[in-house]
Every structure is written in C-alpha cells, then in structure tokens.
C-alpha cells in the first residue's frame, strides 16, 4: 500500500489496466479499489502534468496533484484535515481568494463532503483571520487557490492548486 503518493489519476472508459501499464513507465501507481481511480508517486509533478496535457496517457481524464497525504478514519478525518491545512496559511496572499473542495470515494455513509468543506474551510478562514488579522476572501467557483481534498478509502490527500495551474493544465479538474 503506497504511503507516499503525490497524484490522483482518474481514467475513463473502463481501461484502468491499460492506463496503469502506461502510467507505470513514469512512476509508481496502484489501483485504489475504486473504478478508474489510481494513486501514484511521480518524480516530477510538473513533468507528469505536461505529459498528461500532451495526451501521453490515453484513457486519462483527470489529474489531482497532491502535496500532503495521510491515512484517516471517519472519526478523525475532520481533525486530521484541520491539522494538515494549517501548512497552507502562509500561501494565501492578502486579497487572494481561496476555496475548498472535497471529493470522496469511500466513507460515504460516515461523512458529508459539504460538511467537511464547511468545517475545514471555516477553520482555515478563522485561522487566517486570527494569525493575520484580516478576513480572507472565499470563492468557491473560481478561487485564486483551491485546496482539493481527495478521500480515497482511508487515505486522504491535499492538493494546493493555483488558478495558474488550472489554466495551464486542462487535466487538473477538481469536482
């Protein structure tokens, strides 16, 4: 089971096996247990995104870069996320907007994506206000910075995704 992963790849067309073979040329990848969803570790995320953008990986639909990955359970998920998002507080510049998005596979009966977004996003908002004495700006539609929370079974990944990254790489699509 991969501990140190830095990318979530979502394929399409029930071609998981074919996509996995192609991806393994450029990193370590494994099935997640959810259809067409793989997690992986690549050496250079920028290079991987460039290759994905150039259609090097047929059957690949989306990529979510991950900066921080850890294991969580429904009972400790929100607390773990709050602790892990603190690392991004210095990344949000005054005047910049931010938003949180949760995409989960698994834990469906135990947690609500919207509730996690509200709790963790609210905690982050309050933290920025407390530490910097300013009210941060939230934009859920098209923020300057999007914190993507990917829950895949009992694994959780955080991706700090800027608007520039989303504009440069059409394969980065956060639901």
pLDDT tier for residue 175 given thresholds of 50, 70 and 90:
confident
Judged against a pLDDT cut of 80, whether residue 133 lies above it is answered with: yes
Percent of the chain with pLDDT over 70: 99
What pLDDT does residue 13 have?
Answer: 80
Q: What is the pLDDT of residues 150-171, one digit of tens each?
A: 999 999 999 999 999 999 999 9
- Mean of pLDDT values over 137-159: 95
Rounded to two decimals, the pTM is 0.94
Q: What is the pLDDT of residues 34-93, one digit of tens each?
A: 999 999 999 999 999 999 999 999 999 999 999 999 999 999 999 999 999 999 999 999
- Mean of pLDDT values over 118-136: 95
- Mean of pLDDT values over 7-12: 95
pLDDT tier for residue 2 given thresholds of 50, 70 and 90:
low
- Mean of pLDDT values over 114-118: 93
What pLDDT does residue 50 have?
Answer: 97
What pLDDT does residue 1 have?
Answer: 59
Please say whether the beta carbons of 13 and 59 come within 8 A.
yes
């Amino acid at each position: 089971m991969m501990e140190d992963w830095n990318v979530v790849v979502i394929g399409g067309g029930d071609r998981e096996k074919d996509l996995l073979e192609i991806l393994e040329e450029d990193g370590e990848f494994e099935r997640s247990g959810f259809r067409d969803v793989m997690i992986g570790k690549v050496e250079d995320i920028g290079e991987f995104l460039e290759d994905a953008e150039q259609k090097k990986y047929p059957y690949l639909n989306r990529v979510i870069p991950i900066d921080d990955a850890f294991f969580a359970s429904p009972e400790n998920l929100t607390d773990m996320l709050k602790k892990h998002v603190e690392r991004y507080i210095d990344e949000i510049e005054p005047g910049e907007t931010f938003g949180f998005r949760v995409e989960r596979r698994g834990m469906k009966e135990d947690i609500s994506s919207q509730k996690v977004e509200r709790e963790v996003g609210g905690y982050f908002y309050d933290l920025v206000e407390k530490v910097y004495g300013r009210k941060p700006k939230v934009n859920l539609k098209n923020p300057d910075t999007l914190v993507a929370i990917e829950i895949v079974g009992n694994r959780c990944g955080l991706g700090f995704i800027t608007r520039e990254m989303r504009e440069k790489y059409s394969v980065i699509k956060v639901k």
